[in-house]
Amino acid sequence: MIEFQNVSKSYKKGSKAVDGLNMTVNNGEIFGFLGPNGAGKSTTIRMLTGILNIDEGKILCDGHDITAEPMAAKRSFGYVPDSPDQFLSMKGIEYLNFVADIYDVADRKEKIRTLTQKFEIFDALNNQIESYSHGMRQKIVICGALLHDPDNWILDEPMTGLDPRSAYDLKEMMRQHADSGKCVFFSTHVLDVAEKICDRVGIIHNGKLLFVGTLQEMRDTFKENTSLEELFLEITEDAQTNI
């Protein structure tokens, strides 16, 4: 479970990138975090993962405060960032062993084989990551995030660059993870994907949370018989008009 309690973050005086965010991502669900570019999605995720400091409020991962108990909180999640261009000088296998060392993964050999074969990069593990295509880099980062079998998956635009087979497999894995009673929190611009796989969504715009709930609850609130894409555009455009 992930809890945001009145969380705010400012990059410059008088302008809040995230403003008083209150939101809970429950165990047993896929939660889609939606918003236009610059809405505050990545800032929220970077605070959640401890990359950015929180100005106000508190974020809990399985009850662990990311600020007060950073090690315990970080052990409870796996994180896929919005850019896979990291540790490029390492070979794929070196990167995965490095991650396994951090999380004390005992049965790493079998887990590495299983994950990398699923995402079809096993044969490239002895190559440097800088030689990988964007999609392959995305796959190695996903494998690293899932290697220690975390309860909470935090995925920032995880489908970017994935081929159709790998995107399908990842969505299936997300569903299985949530159905096992664990938590998937992911941001995406692909609203069709969110509509198909999310149990609930949250919409953020200009740092403020505009809606949290199921698609049906959104339709009940705003407009019946409407797609998530149309509802998203209506909600964010109305919010922009009211600024």
Does residue 125 sit within a domain? Answer: yes
φ, ψ of residue 68 to 5 degrees: the values are: -80, -30
Tell me how far apart the alpha carbons of residues 38 and 48 are, in angstroms, rounded to a whole number.
17
Confidence of residue 241 (pLDDT cuts 50, 70, 90): low
Q: Is the pLDDT of residue 209 over 80?
A: yes
Say if residue 71 is in the same domain as residue 88. Answer: no
Q: Is the pLDDT of residue 82 over 90?
A: no
Last residue of a domain, one of 129, 150, 171: 150
Does residue 56 sit within a domain? Answer: yes
Does residue 168 sit within a domain? Answer: no
Does residue 175 sit within a domain? Answer: no
44 contact partners, CB below 8 Å, separation of at least 6: 4, 7, 9, 18, 21, 33, 204
Spatial strand order of the sheet with 15-25 comes to 15-25, 2-12, 56-61, 64-65
Percentage of the chain beyond pLDDT 70 is: 96
Last residue of a domain, one of 150, 167, 200: 150
Give the mean model confidence (pLDDT) for residues 58-78: 96
Fill in the amino acid letter for 17. Answer: A
Confidence of residue 243 (pLDDT cuts 50, 70, 90): low
User: pTM here?
Assistant: 0.91
Does residue 103 sit within a domain? Answer: yes
Does residue 170 sit within a domain? Answer: no
Per-residue model confidence (pLDDT) at position 85? 87
Q: Give the count of domains, the chain.
A: 2
Token pair belonging to 54: 């929180």
Does residue 211 sit within a domain? Answer: yes
CATH code of the domain covering residue 39:
3.40.50.300
Q: Supply the mean pLDDT for the chain.
A: 91
Q: Where are the alpha helices (DSSP H) in the chain?
A: 41-48, 70-75, 92-102, 108-118, 134-146, 164-179, 191-197, 215-221, 228-241
Per-residue model confidence (pLDDT) at position 156? 93
Say if residue 2 is in the same domain as residue 72. Answer: yes
Last residue of a domain, one of 97, 129, 150: 150
Say if residue 6 is in the same domain as residue 72. Answer: yes
Q: What DSSP assignment string belongs to 77-100?
A: EEEE-S----STTSBHHHHHHHHH
**Domain range holding 92?**
83-150
